[in-house]
A and B are shown apart, each in its own frame.
Chain A
Amino acid sequence: MRWNGPMPSTTPPSPPPQEVVAFDGVGVMREESVLLLEAGGSAAAGEVLAVTGPNGSGKTTLLRVLAGLLAPTAGRVRVAGRRPDDRDPVFREALAALIGPVQTARDLTVLEHLQFVGATWGSDAGTARARGRSLLEELRILPLADRFPHELSSGQSQLVSVALALARPGAVLVLDEPEQRLDPDRLELVIGALRARAEAGTAIVLASHSPRLVGQLADRRLALEEPW
């Protein structure tokens, strides 16, 4: 397991930013099977930690641990200063994630999905709608606003999934291979959207196989290796 730490910088050293995501010695075992072996890393507000590695190296497992969907069998994890637990409302509010397929409602349009997500987090309907439209514009999928989920192509579904992850509040954004099924132009849009979130202060942890995405976004890198 190799953690490269912060990327080299030419700017003068500044006080170390507070780490919003920190994990150390995190391992996951299921019976005799090792899913993740002693991973460690961190991301401060506004930083992007890119997790790379071959298939089966435990990238998704690590992200699931950070998202509170999987309990680690070893190590220490803190997200926004709390132990990941989806029963903890403060943790839930802090972390937005896109790991695996999003469970969309078959009877809401794309824009209504974004609006509904915003409304469940306390936005009024008008604000949630405006925010939803702005997200769709940002990812250049506004023409899909009135489509139902089953009317989307796989690439469009991926963009909508990214939009849904961005639609809810969160100090931390965890994304598993956001580049999936995207053409180069769409990937550039997603990179731009994520960079904007990072510049606004969101700590981002993403797993990716895209050298382009990692190269353009990563402030820190964690290269995982196969645990066998």
Chain B
Amino acid sequence: MSASLAPVREVWAQRSRARSGGDLLYLVYVAAMTLMVVGLPVLSWAGTMLARPDVLAILLSAQAAPAAAALSLAGAACLVGLGAVRGPALLPPFFTATLVGGPLPRRVVLRRPFARALLLPLLAAVLPAALVAATLIAAGRTEAGAAALLVLAGTGLGMLWGCAWSAGQLLRTPVRRAVILLLGLGAGIAAVPPLRAAAAGETVLEGARSWTGPGAAWASGLAAAGAAGLAACTLLLDRLRGSELAAQAARWEAATASAMTTDLAGAAGTYRALPTTGRHLAAIGSGPPTLLYARRDAVAWLRTPDRCAGGALGVLLGAAALGGAALLSGPQAWAALLIGTLVLRAGAGAFVDGIRHGVQTLGAPTLLGQRAGTQLLLHAIAPLLLLAALGALGGLLVLLAGGGSDAGALLLPLSTAAVVLLARAWEAAKGTMPLALATPIPTPQGDLSVLVMLAWQADTVVVPLLGAAVLLLVLPSGPAAALLAAAALLGVLGLLTRRRLQELRA
């Protein structure tokens, strides 16, 4: 029997809510108009705003190309990891069961969702490339042709990132780990000058050294490699395992269902790795509760080694970026602060399961010898020590690389790590969104209650960012002032967490 996807598409198109050809055309029209009317002017405006001497000094420095290479490789490593939990070729559970499990080749069934998903890495690579190109054009440091090559190189990178994402979905765990390690190693070599020299990376990067004119061969090579890689990945979709696709589809649906009901914490929890190893490590030991809880938490981290390693790397890189923010000034400092805090916060998420569990015991019959609030404090000990150590290490690495001795490069990541940890505890005690926030706010522009709900969801990210911003602003006043500000922030967050716990208990 020769099966075809056409009858399925026909049935699907007969739904009452199916999108017609006209709808699709309108969608394309809206996207094109948005790009022309909003996208390009905003890009041009952003380029003009960024065409400042301090930004241009970074973009035109000899370190720009190696840094871009390091970021590209690190991004690819992250995408390989992402593919293991949510790959680009994915359909809802119903279609996974019926179509992917059916007689059609998987490359035929999964081609469309695969192509749609690839827009994400493509945009993630093309937009920064276009922004850099717009900045250089606004500053008169490059011409339209060279800028177009830069965007072409970004497109190639986006396609290669898509390949990395697809590879993460295709590869078995040991091979996937090896690929992530290799890409991470490559990123490290590209980022650290002595390693780069030893690995002959300088020669490799020579062709792309200057933004003002990336070699046409480099840009076309990247694009060609990306296109060839994607073609190969499309063919390899047949190799995807049905069980893996079903598990990913079920998890993705559960996460999107949680997210649609504004339960972003629940959606994130769906993707939290379950322990699979280290069950014979002794997690429970003797001693006072402080030691008991700290040991239990530390051993528990080792039971999800990938997540633990990724989290530690995130905290370390975030701390290094924060250390850099303390040494930089202007938009660069704020950009480093923003990226550093977000990465540190994301990494810290791997170490606060104990705190989350402490909150979950609220409202249930007492099982443990300590109340929820005490459990939270005890569960905070191990992550605080780890985050402080990694924060200090990140700052120290920046000081060593920069050859400076500014205490701020140590203080900022250290104090931000503590603020992020407490903000994580506050987040864990958040509970469900109050229904009152969903009350419609009718305006001529539509229902604005969605903004209130978004603000409620965003506070877990905004508060650590605000805390880090306060610390950066206070830093020039000296270490004592910075420590005082950190203590005040921790005090406020502690009180807010206590209040949330009381509300949950009530």
A residues neighboring B (CB under 8 Å): 67, 69, 86-87, 92, 95-100, 102-103, 105-109, 112, 115-117, 119-122, 124-126, 128-129, 146-148, 150, 164-165, 168, 174
Across-interface contacts of A107 in B (CB, < 8 A): 275, 300-301, 303-304, 353
The 8 A CB mask of B355-372 against A (1 = contact, 0 = none) is 001001101111111110
Specify which of B283, B300, B361, B366 lies most central, judged by the most chain A CB atoms within 10 Å of its CB.
Answer: B366
Flag whether B286 is at the interface (Cβ < 8 A). yes
Closest B residue to A176 using CB positions: B365
Closest B residue to A148 using CB positions: B275
CB proximity of A175 to chain B, nearest CB, Å: 10
Flag whether B213 is at the interface (Cβ < 8 A). no
B365 near A120 (CB under 8 angstroms)? no
B366 near A119 (CB under 8 angstroms)? no
Contact A146/B280 with A102-B367, A105-B300, A106-B275 known, Cβ cut-off 8 Å = yes
A87 vs B501: C-alpha distance in the bound complex, in angstroms?
13
Flag whether B279 is at the interface (Cβ < 8 A). yes
* Besides A92-B371, A126-B286, 17 other A-B contacts (C-beta < 8 A): A69-B363, A92-B366, A95-B365, A102-B364, A103-B361, A105-B300, A105-B354, A107-B275, A115-B284, A116-B283, A116-B284, A116-B296, A121-B368, A124-B286, A147-B279, A148-B276, A165-B365
Closest A residue to B289 using CB positions: A120
A124 vs B286: C-alpha distance in the bound complex, in angstroms?
5
A90 vs B493: C-alpha distance in the bound complex, in angstroms?
30
Partner of A86, one of B274, B275, B304, B366: B366
3 closest Cβ contacts across the A-B interface?
A97-B365, A120-B369, A107-B300
A117 near B368 (CB under 8 angstroms)? yes
A157 vs B354: C-alpha distance in the bound complex, in angstroms?
20
Flag whether B292 is at the interface (Cβ < 8 A). yes
A103 near B364 (CB under 8 angstroms)? yes
A125 vs B284: C-alpha distance in the bound complex, in angstroms?
7
B286 near A120 (CB under 8 angstroms)? no
B364 near A100 (CB under 8 angstroms)? yes
Closest A residue to B372 using CB positions: A86
A-B contacts at CB below 8 angstroms, number: 93
CB proximity of B38 to chain A, nearest CB, Å: 44
A120 near B366 (CB under 8 angstroms)? no
Flag whether B285 is at the interface (Cβ < 8 A). yes
Across-interface contacts of B303 in A (CB, < 8 A): 107, 148
Contact A128/B284 with A119-B292, A146-B279 known, Cβ cut-off 8 Å = yes
A116 vs B296: C-alpha distance in the bound complex, in angstroms?
8
B365 near A67 (CB under 8 angstroms)? yes
Per DSSP, are chain B's interface residues mostly helix, strand or loop, or mixed?
loop
B residues neighboring A (CB under 8 Å): 272, 274-276, 279-280, 283-286, 289, 292, 296, 300-301, 303-304, 353-354, 357, 360-361, 363-371
Contact A125/B274 with A103-B357, A119-B292 known, Cβ cut-off 8 Å = no
CB proximity of B91 to chain A, nearest CB, Å: 25
B283 near A108 (CB under 8 angstroms)? yes
CB proximity of B377 to chain A, nearest CB, Å: 14
Across-interface contacts of A92 in B (CB, < 8 A): 366, 371
Across-interface contacts of A146 in B (CB, < 8 A): 279-280
Closest B residue to A99 using CB positions: B365
A106 near B286 (CB under 8 angstroms)? no
B286 near A108 (CB under 8 angstroms)? no
Across-interface contacts of B280 in A (CB, < 8 A): 146
CB proximity of B145 to chain A, nearest CB, Å: 55
Specify which of A103, A125, A150, A165 lies most central, judged by the most chain B CB atoms within 10 Å of its CB.
Answer: A103
Across-interface contacts of B357 in A (CB, < 8 A): 103, 105-106
A97 vs B365: C-alpha distance in the bound complex, in angstroms?
6
CB proximity of A162 to chain B, nearest CB, Å: 12
Specify which of A96, A116, A122 lies most central, judged by the most chain B CB atoms within 10 Å of its CB.
Answer: A116
A125 near B361 (CB under 8 angstroms)? no
Specify which of A87, A106, A174 lies most central, judged by the most chain B CB atoms within 10 Å of its CB.
Answer: A106
Across-interface contacts of B296 in A (CB, < 8 A): 108, 112, 116
B279 near A129 (CB under 8 angstroms)? no
B367 near A168 (CB under 8 angstroms)? yes
Across-interface contacts of B284 in A (CB, < 8 A): 112, 115-116, 119, 125, 128-129
A117 vs B274: C-alpha distance in the bound complex, in angstroms?
21
Closest A residue to B366 using CB positions: A92
A112 near B283 (CB under 8 angstroms)? yes
Partner of B353, one of A106, A122, A147: A106
Contact A117/B367 with A106-B275, A112-B284, A148-B279 known, Cβ cut-off 8 Å = yes
A164 vs B367: C-alpha distance in the bound complex, in angstroms?
8
A148 near B274 (CB under 8 angstroms)? yes
Partner of B368, one of A97, A116, A124: A116
Across-interface contacts of A124 in B (CB, < 8 A): 286
A67 vs B370: C-alpha distance in the bound complex, in angstroms?
16
